[in-house]
Structure 1
């Protein structure tokens, strides 16, 4: 039985009819499970249909051109060589013009189509491959939007957290927009965390390569910072502050492999990682606890098991009683009090 992540990776191949019979049956069953699954599959079918139409049109235009030339040759065999060249050029130009007009029309249609939107459900991660070959992993409760076809730049919009393995394309920049900040790259691996319903902070962690951060400073001007591997920048869109720190180990990006890795990690960062994974809001009553450090790895455990581990190894307690927890919480996520 294939898991959700594997099936989603098979969707582009499924749309092209390039999966085995067994894989096809499992994808069919997955599509029928929910409306969200069906809509995701429809997006891949729509993309494949557009690409197939363009290829079919190009082939049809070529066949028509050859047929027209052969027909004319049979009718006017007495024309001289120069005349044939002029005639052939004229006949060829007609289907080529039609092809150009048709393809231009299709491009305009594609540009006017709504963007493709990939969503990951609560408690699940999703992976996909963009039209340019860039691989993307979405963390729990995240949304990625991108056009059916990229133009002179490759720009995507993120709400949530995603890990990007960007395909190299020296002629086109790859840009991740979060609403409050832009990350610009040409070919690299990095993580962006930008949940719109979890406050004004956007965190960017660079794994390899080089990226440029574009954000607005307190004077209203655009500030650009170049990152190096192993760095994490945190930008607050309300205070306009940009902070930097070094990140060691795979903890920040372990979520894409279904793990939560804590390596001498502060409670603040540990709760952030757990909250992102399970779509939970933690409210810490005792702020002194935030500096406590923890080490451990969680893979596949439920939220209850993870919290029980903290209870047994530390003096931390958790309470799901929401009375007076957070009157400003409008995200709809479960709130857990930490004390």
Structure 2
């Protein structure tokens, strides 16, 4: 096989006979030392002509691939070679129709093999969105589902749903308005509980630093699954609109209530609704919303609050808490760190004397 035939193949203009010649060469001659060396050199040199629209499309894709590769940087000379070679190859040949055959060929027959585990970890079809502490986020998935992420939450999902289900992974709290698809259930996975729906609106809370995972159903129906030992799944039941369900990850106990669910959903409208909420729960939500560390003295943990805040600054909320209960708070100055940034704001709440 010569260079001309290979270039015609890479540009998707080879004839059936030329394609068969390439396949025969791969089967019979590619394993030789000369074949491996020659093919690798052609691989590095190949530069196809791309249309402007193709350049924009594949440059976007390659930026994402390069980002993933950079995340795995500084792992040794072998991995650095992988980053440079793969990026150059993809930049040159990403628009080619028959690229999977060449990838398989170079992976299995080249002396310049990649590390298999590194290659498999580059998931170019996976998207991760993070709403940092102090921020919320709204996004739309490829199926039309709308997701609201609460403060300090993270969601991971495929760019395009493939297969019989639409699966996403949630850490934190999210409100889902799911696009209906009777053939593909929508599954929200958390560390110990799965919520399965077809087309509905519901809320899921599963912060990694809390022992409670909860789901609140607004419309439609959802099925709840609980993760048990040895990777097994246990079906808890089906929720109905207006129902709120909580699972305690430590005890395994399930609690369900039906009625006013507004307080569980108010966060997406930038409201804080507390209904006989312990102060421990109040400060957790304040910490996430305002990106602060709040420390509680033991003698104030018995207090509870029933109040609604809407777009109020933190100091007004703290002032109101001091009027409702006999507490006081101290705000400590932020310290400048070695890298020039400042530490997170710290607040201590204790009982008034």
Short-chain TM bin = 0.5 to 0.7
Q: Post-superposition shift, 1:312? A: 2.0
1:164 to 171, 176, 182: 176
Q: Which residue of 1 aligns with 2:240?
A: 228
Mapping for residues 37-48 of structure 1, pairs under 5 Å = none
2:251 is the counterpart of 1:239: yes
Give the 3-state SS of the residue equivalent to 1:171 in structure 2. Answer: coil
Q: Which deviates further from its counterpart, 207-216 or 228-237?
A: 228-237
Q: Which deviates further from its counterpart, 124-133 or 249-258?
A: 249-258
Provide the rounded CA distance (Å) in 2 between the counterparts of 1:295 and 1:193.
21
Deviation string, structure 1 residues 214-239 (Cα, Å, up to 9, x no partner): 11357985321211222222223332
Q: Which deviates further from its counterpart, 244-253 or 155-164?
A: 244-253
Q: Which residue of 1 aligns with 2:107?
A: none
Change (3 A) 1:244 1:283: farther
Structure 2 gap segments, 5+ residues each: 1-55, 62-96, 102-119, 333-342
In the alignment, is the contact (CA less than 8 A) between 1:176 and 1:184 conserved in 2? yes
Change (3 A) 1:336 1:113: same
2:129 is the counterpart of 1:153: no
Q: Which residue of 1 aligns with 2:322?
A: 311
Q: Which residue of 2 aligns with 1:199?
A: 210
Q: What TM-score comes out, normalization by structure 1 length? A: 0.58
Mapping for residues 29-44 of structure 1, pairs under 5 Å = none
Provide the rounded CA distance (Å) in 1 between the counterparts of 2:230 and 2:273.
38
Provide the rounded CA distance (Å) in 2 between the counterparts of 1:137 and 1:337.
31
Give the 3-state SS of the residue equivalent to 1:305 in structure 2. Answer: helix
RMSD: 3.6
Provide the rounded CA distance (Å) in 1 between the counterparts of 2:274 and 2:178.
26
Provide the rounded CA distance (Å) in 1 between the counterparts of 2:257 and 2:198.
23
Q: Which has the larger radius of gyration?
A: 2
Give the 3-state SS of the residue equivalent to 2:272 in structure 1. Answer: strand
Q: What TM-score comes out, normalization by structure 2 length? A: 0.56
Deviation string, structure 1 residues 140-182 (Cα, Å, up to 9, x no partner): 1111110111022100011111110111111100000112211
Q: Which residue of 1 aligns with 2:188?
A: 176
Change (3 A) 1:218 1:148: closer
Q: Which residue of 1 aligns with 2:153?
A: 142
Change (3 A) 1:304 1:252: same
Q: Post-superposition shift, 1:117? A: 1.0
Q: Post-superposition shift, 1:124? A: 1.4
Q: Which residue of 2 aligns with 1:29?
A: none
Q: Which residue of 2 aligns with 1:250?
A: 262
Provide the rounded CA distance (Å) in 2 between the counterparts of 1:260 and 1:172.
34
Give the 3-state SS of the residue equivalent to 1:162 in structure 2. Answer: strand
Change (3 A) 1:266 1:179: closer
Give the 3-state SS of the residue equivalent to 2:327 in structure 1. Answer: coil
Provide the rounded CA distance (Å) in 2 between the counterparts of 1:207 and 1:48.
41
Give the 3-state SS of the residue equivalent to 1:240 in structure 2. Answer: coil
Q: Post-superposition shift, 1:252? A: 1.4
Change (3 A) 1:47 1:123: farther
Aligned length: 231
Change (3 A) 1:220 1:189: same
Change (3 A) 1:313 1:293: closer
Give the 3-state SS of the residue equivalent to 1:317 in structure 2. Answer: strand
Q: Which residue of 1 aligns with 2:335?
A: none
